Each structure stands twice: as structure tokens, then as C-alpha cells.
Amino acid sequence: MLKYFLISCSALFLFACKNDSKKEASKELNVYTHRHYESDQQLFNFFEEKTGIKVNVINASADELIQKMTLEGANSPADVLITVDAGRLYRAKENDLLQPITSILLNEIIPSHLKDKENYWFGVTKRARIIVYAKERVTPEELSTYEDLATEKWNKRLIVRSSGNIYNQSLMASILVNHDEGFAKKWSAGIVKNMARSPKGNDRDQVKAIFAGEGDITIINTYYLGNMLDSDDSEEVKAATGVGVFFPNQESTGAHINVSGAGVAKYAPNKENAIRFIEFLVSKDAQKIFALSNHEYSVNKNVPMSETLKSWGEFKEDTLNLSLLGENNKNAVILLDETGWK
């Protein structure tokens, strides 16, 4: 019995040790990603087909991946880190986990406010955080800016998800940078006062609640509404068509945007492949799958918008450098806690 046990143990050990991520450096690429979108797998397959480079993926939250890369240190198999917000990429850079790369192509395609100044990371798709309103009870004329949402006018009419969510944290950070700490704190307190219900659910749930009349306005990311319109559930489609889209701050700073971005790991074993991969991500063909199928905005201006996004029209975006969002994220969270935004 003991003999069999030992034999099976050693067999398992040998089987488990077959960690071939480093063997053929030139034909592989290891991606650590926070993006869990369906289209991403399609994209990895596409890249594999096109270049013959095999893509190995680890999915987890960006913070967990950053922790993992930190512990792995110089032996880390990670080549590329992909996150769904610029703040986390900034954090990875600060923790010395990324390396700068030189790519004429990337610099040409990606606008400067959507990437790191020293080329440590690059935004690959873009999304805006916008105001969505109940068409029956609100007219677009009543809406103007994010700042306005904290005023008396919207008392008990606003609903929004928890501040545990990174998109709300980034929005808060942008308010913090565009104004100052005192203003941001007052703003957050005003938002909390205007909430029609305690924060819960995800972005899609906020839209449904607005449509059902639990509140009048909400703040969500563009692609969630786009995806609701494509939903298999007719009730979701009904809710999404029943609400209006408003891009705030068009007269001032522009609508708050964020990117899903990628950077090359500091100790990337397959650096060349990693650069090639990021270049591929912003190419026209890839962007069609990467951005369009998820209703995100492309960072490549040669790629047209999805039909849904086109129907919402062009808008002015906040050109604040996204690194600043990462830099101010922690302060933003502290202010959100202090003002009781759950």
C-alpha cells in the first residue's frame, strides 16, 4: 500500500513539474490578465494563428497578479500584464514590475494621455464613465457635469454602485486632480446625501433600477450599457433602451475616461513576443475584436466605433494623464471612506 502510494506520489510530482512555460522562449507568451471578456480568448487564438506564438493565460484580479509578480521576482514567467484600469498599471510600475519599451508603432497610434510618459504601459481600449438617466423623469437639459450631481437638485434621486469598485475610485481621483481635496470631499459627501438607496449590485443593476424608477440618474461605464442592448434577456434590452445617455463635462474638462492597458513585465522571458503582442492588440484587426465586440472605444483612431457607440455620438474626453488616477487612487479611497460612500 505504502509502495503504491509513493509511486503515485512521484508520478504526480513528475506530471505536475511539467511546467513548460519557459522551454521554448521564442514561441510562447505568458499573459497575466485582469480582463475576463469573452472576446479576449478569440483574440489570443487570432494572435496564435497569425504569429505561431502560443499564448498562455492567467486570469485574476490585477492586485492579485501584482502580488504574485512581486513574490515571483526575477523568475516570474509573466511577459505581459493586462489590467482594466490605468491605476493598477501605475501601481505595477511603482512596484518595479514593468519595463519601458520602445515601439514606434505604439507611440504613433496611442494618444499621449492614454499611455505612460516613460513608455512603461499603454492603454489598449478606452471606456467612458457617463451619466445615464430615466427618460421619463429627466431631460438632458437638466444634466451638466459630475460636479452638479452632488447638488441639492438631485436629492434622493441618484443611485450608484459601491466605492469598492475601481471605476468609482478612478472617477473620484479625477475629481481630486481636477479640483482639490476639499472640493472632492464635499462632492463625495453630496453624492452620498443624494443617494436614493444604499450602494449595491453592479453597473447593469443600476440601469435596471433607474428604469424601474428606484432612482432617476446613475453613473456607469459605457460598455455595460452597450452589452445590455445586446443581451439575450429581453427585459435587460428593454431597460437599456428605456434610459438616456449623457456625456458630462462637455463644456469643461470632458467626460471621465479610463483604459484597459498592457505593460511588459520587467523580467519578461519573452520580451520580443510581448512587444509584438501589445502592438498586435492596437492593430486594426485586433481592435475590431478587442474593443468593438465589447462596445469599448478604440485607442486607434482608424478603427470605427460600434454601431451602438456611434448612435451615442462623439464626445469630448478628459485628457488628464491617466497616471494621475493611479497616483491619487489611495487618497480618493480614503476620502470616499471618510464621507461614508459604502
Partner 1 sequence: MKQAGSNTIFSLKNRLFRLKRDSNRWSIITLVVVFLIALPVISIAVKLFDGPGETWSHIVAHLLFQYVYNSFYLLVVCSVLVLLFGVTTSWLVSRFEFPFRKQLEWLLILPLAIPSYIVAYAYAGIFDYGGTLELIQRFMGLQFTRIDIMNRFGLAFVLSISLFPYVYVSSRAFFLNQANNLLEASRVLGVKEWNSFFKLILPLARPAIIAGLILVLMEVLNDYGAATYFGVSTFTTGIFRSWFSLEEPETAIYLSALLVLLVFALILFEKWQRRHIQFTNSKSGNKRIYRKKISKKMQLLILVMVSFPVLFGFLLPLAQLLYWGFLTYSAVFEYQFLLLSLQTFGIAFITATFTVIFATLLIFSAKWNKIGVIKNLSRLGVLGYAIPGAVVAIGVMIPTIFIDKWLIGTMHSIFSYTSGFLIHGTLIALVYAYVIRFLAVAYNPIESTTLKVSNTIPDASKTLGVGNFKTFFKIEFPLIKTGILSAFILVFIDVLKELPLTLILKPFHINTLAVKAFEYASDERVMEAAIPSLFIIFTATIPVIFLNRLLAKN
Q: Which positions lie near partner 1, rule CB under 8 A?
A: 1-2, 5, 12-13, 15-19, 21-22, 30, 36-38, 56-61, 63-64, 67-68, 71-73, 75, 77, 91, 162, 164, 166, 169, 198-205, 208-209, 211-212, 214, 224, 227, 231-233, 235-236, 238-239, 329-330, 333-334, 337-338, 340, 342
Minimum CB separation from partner 1 for residue 105, in Å? 28
C-alpha cell at 71: 513574490
Report the residue number, 113 or 129, with the smaller CB distance to partner 1: 129
Contact call for residues 217 and 134 (beta carbons, < 8 A): yes
Nearest distance in Å: CB 67, partner 1: 6
Nearest distance from residue 11's CB to partner 1, in Å? 11
Q: Which is nearer to partner 1, 61 or 145 (CB)?
A: 61
Q: Which one, 215 or 254, has the nearer CB to partner 1?
A: 215
Q: Cα(93)–Cα(115) distance, rounded to whole angstroms?
A: 12
Q: What is 164-215 written as a DSSP string?
A: TSHHHHHHHHHHHHHS-HHHHHHHHHHHHHHBSS---S-HHHHHHHHHHTS-
Nearer to partner 1, 17 or 104 (CB): 17
Q: Which three cell numbers stand for residue 85?
A: 484600469
Residue 280 CB, nearest approach to partner 1 (Å): 20
Shortest Å distance, C-beta 204 to partner 1 = 5
Report the b/e string of 148-158 with b at 16+ CB within 10 A. ebbeeebeebb
Q: How far is the CB of 71 from partner 1 (least distance, A)?
A: 5
Of the candidates 67, 84, 86, the one whose C-alpha atom is nearest the C-alpha of residue 76 is 67
Rounded distance between C-alpha atoms, residue 150 and residue 129, angstroms: 16
How many Å apart are CA 11 and CA 188, to the nearest integer? 58
Q: Residue 236 and residue 83: Cα distance in Å, rounded?
A: 27
CB nearer to partner 1: pick between 51 and 165: 165
Please say which residue, 119 or 197, places its beta carbon nearer to partner 1. Answer: 197
User: In this complex, which beta carbon is closest to partner 1, that of residue 170 or of residue 249?
Assistant: 170
Residue 257: strand, helix, or coil: strand
- Taking the C-alpha atoms of residue 13 and residue 184, their distance in angstroms, rounded to an integer, is 55
Q: Nearest distance from residue 132's CB to partner 1, in Å?
A: 14
Q: Which of 71, 116, 119 is CA-nearest to residue 95?
A: 71
* Least separation in angstroms between CB 147 and partner 1: 23
Nearest residue (CB) to partner 1, 95 versus 252: 95
Helix (H, G, I), strand (E, B) or coil at 142: helix
Nearer to partner 1, 60 or 143 (CB): 60
Q: How far apart are CA 284 and CA 286, in angstroms?
A: 6
Cβ atoms of residues 260 and 296 within 8 Å: yes
* Contacting residues for 236 by C-beta, under 8 A, at least 6 apart: 204, 208, 228
Q: Residue 301 CB, nearest distance to partner 1 (Å)?
A: 26
